[in-house]
Amino acid sequence: MSLYARADLINSFLVPKRTGADGVIIWGSSHDVDSAKQCSRLSDYVEKVIGPILKQSSFMQHPNDEYEILNYPSTIQNTLSPIV
């Protein structure tokens, strides 16, 4: 199972948000969770990586997207600059 790095995951949520998407789909394969070890790994990833990112108030609730972008690494700012 291949999981996104934190910066890539943030991009996967911020870019659709900035372009007006209503949401994102987290996609995978049954092969990603075909053992207890892989299920546990995915559960940990959701709880320790995805969940905290989405719970950050500046990420999901702040009305000014410019504020959000400034709080993330420059790689994300560079990715979003053509959109901004």
- Residues 39-54 have pLDDT tens digits of 999 999 989 988 888 8
User: How far is 4 from 2, CA to CA, in rounded Å?
Assistant: 7
Is this prediction's pTM over 0.75? Answer: no
User: How far is 53 from 46, CA to CA, in rounded Å?
Assistant: 10
3-class secondary structure per residue, the chain: CCCCCHHHHHHHHHHHHHCCCCCCCCCCCHHHHCCHHHHHHHHHHHHHHHHHHHHCHHHHCCCCHHHHHHCCCHHHHHHHCCCC
- Residues 57-67 have pLDDT tens digits of 556 554 454 44
